[in-house]
A and B are shown apart, each in its own frame.
Chain A
Amino acid sequence: MHNVRVEKLTRIYRQDSIAVTALKDVDLDIAAGEFIALVGPSGSGKSTLLNLLGGLDHPTSGRLWVEDRELGAMSARELADMRLRRIGFVFQEYNLIPVLSAIENVEYVMLLQGVADQERRRRALAVLADVGLTGLEHRRPGELSGGQQQRVAVARAIVAEPALVLADEPTANLDSVTGAALMDMMRRLNETKGITFVFSTHDQMVMERARRLVHLKDGRVVI
């Protein structure tokens, strides 16, 4: 079963009179439970593809399905709901809502989903333990290191048990040891919980840990 299917996906940005083709006729199938790295130089279209997969951006042409639902046919409200329930995000930086503590950031998504109070707290604590943050639950983002913040972001992304976690250069701001630890942790979650991970990177260490690499260059899939 395909988790994500992409057909002839094209995204052209227009600024004033200049058109920049960020993605061109990309076809891609991602099966459930994959652990994929989108790799390529800056400007190759990695972030654009991730944003499109997450329903944050709209393709200029082409179609894409997540869990057999076509994103292009969904309203803004349905897209928001899709992001809330089926997709988790981890960004390069500024990942967390700054006014909420670590555990609250994790709970936030479940709260929006309407998960019952006690259940929410139990799952948040469990997932924070999974990412190795026991004891730091009540710190606010400003009081956590970069690596710890990314762990909270991962915890938040997976706690709702989404079909897909999208991570845009999750290790870019981390040192190599912290970055490797984060990747190992994501890989473990992928294996134990069966969550699909798609992340972009140009870090060799990250690529080594991916099970499948999709190379992008100038907006096209080259391998």
Chain B
Amino acid sequence: MAQFIFLKLALRGLRRNLRRSLITISAIAIGLAALVFLRGYIDGTNRQMISNITGYLSGHLQVHQRGYHDDPTLDLTFNRADELMARFGKRDAITAIAPRVESPALASGPDQAPASGQMKTRGVMMIGVDPERERRVTTLYKALMQGEYLDPADRRGAMMGERTAEILGVKVGDEVALVTQASDGSVGAARFRVRGIYRSGIDMIDTSFIFVPLAAAQEMLALEGRVTTVAARLADLDDVPSTVAQLRSELGPDFEVLGWRTLMPELSGNVELHYLFVNMILLIVFSVVTLGIANTVLMGVMERTHEFGVMLALGTRPAQVARTVLYEALLLGLAAIVLGGAIGVGITAYFGYRGIDFGEYTQAAQMMPGLTGIVYPSVRMEPLLLLSALLLAATIFASVYPALKAAHLSPVEAIRGMRQALHLRLPRLHLATPLLPRAVFARIALRGIARNPRRTLLTLCALGAGLAAYLFLSAFASGFYLQMRNNATDLITAHLQIERKGFRDEFDAKLALAQNDQLLERIRANPLVAAAAPRLQAQTMASSPTKSEPLMLYGVDPMAETKVTTLHTKIVEGAYLSGGRVREIVIGRKLAERLRVRLGEKIVVMAPAADGTLGSAALRITGIVETGNDMFDRTMAVTNLAVARELLAVPGDIATIAVRLYDIDAAEAAIPALAASMTAPAQQVVSWKSLQPEVEQMLDLIRINLRVILIIVFAVVALGVMNTLLMAVLERRREFGLQLALGTQSAQIVRTVLYESLVLGALGLGAGMIGGALIVGYFHTAGFDLSAYSVTGRFPGLTSVIYPTILIANIWLPAAALFITSVAAALYPAWRATRLDPVQALRHV
């Protein structure tokens, strides 16, 4: 029973100090609500991205014959699809299943003028699907722009992306011919009629696929009922890993079962990157929230020395006093978590239903693979419970120190000395007091700050830590952004490229720039341009004695190129190109590994030449680069311009001009200026944002998320500061009552508090700035190593070490706003205090 007495005391204590209890509860609750919402927001963004992208093509998981994923050949097909699907259908987790055959094919548009050889041809991936089943697994039918979805009854109907249709020069109702190699080695060919044209907004899907009915594809490929793939959709994304594991053990070693993460490593990388970024932020927000809670709890306990003194004097044992304090914290924490959880879930659910529309802020997010401008946050139990438990633990932990402090008070001192006993006390010299100046309120304010170092420290902590956290976040994001942008453009893309319209569709060697010498001179003469380099660019096949790999080959003039891009600084073995006609090549480490070649060895590069023949060249590997970016290291290489000209049979031509500007931010502005210097038609200037839309999209997504997050962090920090100041002023009602009784005007008291909070605000701001700058400075030099997360290599421009950077433009506004908030937060209770009845205020202890 003795247990309950202290629980009851704690409960009564909370009720008696209702206002303080409410402030503490609100501090914890708001923190939790913010964390829950943030987490829900990020989950929502990611789920949407995953669901949309897997919805277009891959489905949530796929089953193949073992080995098919790494080496997709028609040798690895299976004919038990119906049996498999019947078995899958019994699982609750799986909502739909669809069989497919997939095979590369050559697609040709209508043979308009056979004599001119103008027939448009393009390599595509032909996918044979069961239309009825497929539309339950993937949602590409929703992206139809023209025509209709595939129909099982229409065996010759085909569906393709808008860009593919453009390249082939076809529209709905036109014929396309598909030619492919069948499983028995014969040539399979068939004509289809374009039935539907879609636009997904994802380049790869819009340019590379043609969908046809399953039976037609099987016939073309001589597969007779066999399929390459069974794709499935699950009710809940979270079930993917467990379902994959179950199917694996059930199907045995003949099959491979792959979840979306394996099927779409880029998407998986994006999601990981996003989570990584956000977990960093949650960690920082969590520390700010915890600090705010510690502040409030500490203040709430310290204020009540007298009460604890009485308890001790009455014979309460120290441990019992401590227990009372801990019970109080526990009760406060529980109440706050219920409240904060409810608010957080409520807000998240509300926006989950309504959606948050970022349409106005971004165009890129609308093109972002799988992401529309509207984000729907989602509530999940697991993070909610985890965050609640952590905050409760933080609350109780924060109350341990004041609980011990209260337990070890001397009762006499506590009762008589009132609040003094718990205060830190600074020694004061007995100097003669100078004449009380006119600025008496400023002096009272200053001494008030010095008199109560604990309160001052707590307030400074709340403000300083909040601002420092904010600074670090902002700097981390800026560093991330700048680094990603610079890396992405510095390696090969440059800031702008000049090329013929349509060049980028097929990298056709015939599409060269006209009058290229004069053009290059005019571009270089533009005042915005720092350097410009001529290039050739072609899709080639690189072969070693053992293997072949696709390769994007750039022919460059080393002298000019090194002024535009920085690839030459990433050489880890050998040297950069020497120029002239030397038959040499610089390749990435990953490609070298794949081809199993070493520095000094030769590889053969083949490419379709402008004269219609297949050009080939044996090039010696003179240098190996490691850029930290997998995609570059695996798929790109540079050779001398003259060598590339010979390979592609384009003497004297260049295909593109890569431009480095003095200021990358001027890229968009420079486009019209450079376009004006082009005399030949059909040429265009393309900015890095168009050249690397995935970088721009990711940056945009991060920018938007950051805006959301910074608003929330700011709100949490501001509320924490408000709480602390509110408490500090409320604590002093008696002091204000005395001043009022002595005839001080209300405005003068408000002025005192204003001075105090101005000084505190300035000190806190200074502390925050210095603290933030130190943290940022440290990581700016040391770097923030993300390599443990292994997602960084998959994204262009992203390397594994982030160097946070402070951009003054990003911090002065929040700093000023925080300052104003903290001052305003103190003025409200001061104003309230002056409305008090002095008699009441004087009684208040």
A binds B: yes
Residues in chain A within 8 A of chain B (CB atoms): 51, 54, 56-57, 76-77, 80-85, 87, 89, 91, 94-101, 103-104, 107-109, 111-112, 117, 120-121, 137-140, 142, 156
* B431 at interface, CB cutoff 8 A: yes
Question: Which residues of chain B have C-beta atoms less than 8 A from A81's C-beta?
Answer: 743
Distance in Å: Cβ of B834 to nearest Cβ of chain A = 9
A51 with B440: CB separation less than 8 A:
no
B 734-773 binary contact with A (CB < 8 Å = 1; else 0): 1100111111111010000000000000000000000000
* B837 at interface, CB cutoff 8 A: yes
B440 with A111: CB separation less than 8 A:
yes
Tell me whether A83 and B743 are in contact in the complex, defined as CB-CB below 8 angstroms, given that A98-B735, A99-B444, A99-B451 are known contacts.
Answer: yes
Question: Which residues of chain B have C-beta atoms less than 8 A from A112's C-beta?
Answer: 742-744, 748
B741 with A54: CB separation less than 8 A:
yes
Distance in Å: Cβ of B292 to nearest Cβ of chain A = 27
Tell me whether A80 and B745 are in contact in the complex, defined as CB-CB below 8 angstroms, given that A99-B451, A111-B440, A137-B433 are known contacts.
Answer: yes
Question: Which residues of chain A have C-beta atoms less than 8 A from B95's C-beta?
Answer: none
B435 with A121: CB separation less than 8 A:
yes
Question: Which residues of chain B have C-beta atoms less than 8 A from A51's C-beta?
Answer: 839
A138 with B431: CB separation less than 8 A:
yes
A85 to B430, CA, bound (A): 31
Partner of B433 from A82, A104, A117 at Cβ < 8 Å: A104
Question: Which residues of chain B have C-beta atoms less than 8 A from A96's C-beta?
Answer: 738
* B707 at interface, CB cutoff 8 A: no
A140 with B428: CB separation less than 8 A:
yes
* B842 at interface, CB cutoff 8 A: yes
Tell me whether A103 and B444 are in contact in the complex, defined as CB-CB below 8 angstroms, given that A57-B837, A81-B743, A85-B743 are known contacts.
Answer: no
* B110 at interface, CB cutoff 8 A: no
A211 to B746, CA, bound (A): 37
B444 with A100: CB separation less than 8 A:
yes
Taking CB atoms and an 8 Å cut-off, the chain B residues in 673-718 that contact chain A are none
Distance in Å: Cβ of B441 to nearest Cβ of chain A = 10
B742 with A84: CB separation less than 8 A:
yes
A216 to B611, CA, bound (A): 120
Partner of B735 from A57, A76, A97, A156 at Cβ < 8 Å: A97
Can you list 19 A-B pairs with a CB-CB distance of less than 8 A? A56-B837, A56-B838, A57-B837, A76-B746, A80-B743, A80-B745, A82-B743, A84-B743, A85-B743, A89-B741, A94-B734, A97-B735, A99-B444, A99-B447, A99-B450, A104-B436, A108-B742, A142-B420, A156-B742
Question: Which residues of chain A have C-beta atoms less than 8 A from B839's C-beta?
Answer: 51, 56-57
Count chain B CB atoms within 10 A of each CB in A103, A112, A156 and give the residue with the most: A112
B432 with A98: CB separation less than 8 A:
no
A108 with B436: CB separation less than 8 A:
yes
Distance in Å: Cβ of B191 to nearest Cβ of chain A = 91
Question: Which residues of chain A have C-beta atoms less than 8 A from B579's C-beta?
Answer: none
A104 to B842, CA, bound (A): 21
* B615 at interface, CB cutoff 8 A: no
A100 with B744: CB separation less than 8 A:
no
List the count of A-B residue pairs having beta carbons below 8 Å apart: 82
| In the complex, the 7 A-B pairs of residues with the closest C-beta atoms, listed nearest first | A84-B743, A99-B447, A83-B743, A107-B436, A138-B433, A56-B838, A101-B433
A87 to B743, CA, bound (A): 9
Distance in Å: Cβ of A98 to nearest Cβ of chain B = 6
A117 to B436, CA, bound (A): 8
Distance in Å: Cβ of B289 to nearest Cβ of chain A = 32
Question: Which residues of chain A have C-beta atoms less than 8 A from B744's C-beta?
Answer: 80, 84, 112
A107 to B444, CA, bound (A): 13
B433 with A89: CB separation less than 8 A:
no
A120 with B842: CB separation less than 8 A:
no
Question: Which residues of chain B have C-beta atoms less than 8 A from A142's C-beta?
Answer: 420
Count chain A CB atoms within 10 A of each CB in B428, B430, B435, B450 and give the residue with the most: B435
Question: Which residues of chain A have C-beta atoms less than 8 A from B842's C-beta?
Answer: 56, 91, 94
List the B residue with the shortest CB-CB distance to A157: B742
Question: Which residues of chain A have C-beta atoms less than 8 A from B428's C-beta?
Answer: 140
Question: Which residues of chain A have C-beta atoms less than 8 A from B741's C-beta?
Answer: 54, 56, 83, 89, 91
A97 with B433: CB separation less than 8 A:
no
* B152 at interface, CB cutoff 8 A: no
Count chain B CB atoms within 10 A of each CB in A76, A80, A139, A156 and give the residue with the most: A80
A83 to B740, CA, bound (A): 9
Question: Which residues of chain B have C-beta atoms less than 8 A from A87's C-beta?
Answer: 743
A101 to B842, CA, bound (A): 20
A80 to B740, CA, bound (A): 7
* B169 at interface, CB cutoff 8 A: no
| A-B contacts besides A56-B741, A85-B743, A104-B433, 6 pairs, CB < 8 Å | A56-B837, A76-B746, A80-B740, A80-B743, A108-B742, A112-B743
Question: Which residues of chain A have C-beta atoms less than 8 A from B447's C-beta?
Answer: 99-100
A38 to B428, CA, bound (A): 40
* B448 at interface, CB cutoff 8 A: yes
Question: Which residues of chain B have C-beta atoms less than 8 A from A89's C-beta?
Answer: 741-742
A26 to B430, CA, bound (A): 49
List the B residue with the shortest CB-CB distance to A124: B436
Question: Which residues of chain B have C-beta atoms less than 8 A from A103's C-beta?
Answer: 433, 436
B 442-455 binary contact with A (CB < 8 Å = 1; else 0): 00100110110000
A83 to B440, CA, bound (A): 19
Question: Which residues of chain A have C-beta atoms less than 8 A from B748's C-beta?
Answer: 112
Distance in Å: Cβ of B329 to nearest Cβ of chain A = 29
Distance in Å: Cβ of A9 to nearest Cβ of chain B = 15
B738 with A95: CB separation less than 8 A:
yes
Taking CB atoms and an 8 Å cut-off, the chain B residues in 388-440 that contact chain A are 420, 428, 430-433, 435-436, 438, 440
Partner of A83 from B450, B742, B746 at Cβ < 8 Å: B742
Distance in Å: Cβ of A210 to nearest Cβ of chain B = 23
A109 to B435, CA, bound (A): 14
A138 to B838, CA, bound (A): 28
B 826-841 binary contact with A (CB < 8 Å = 1; else 0): 0000000000011100
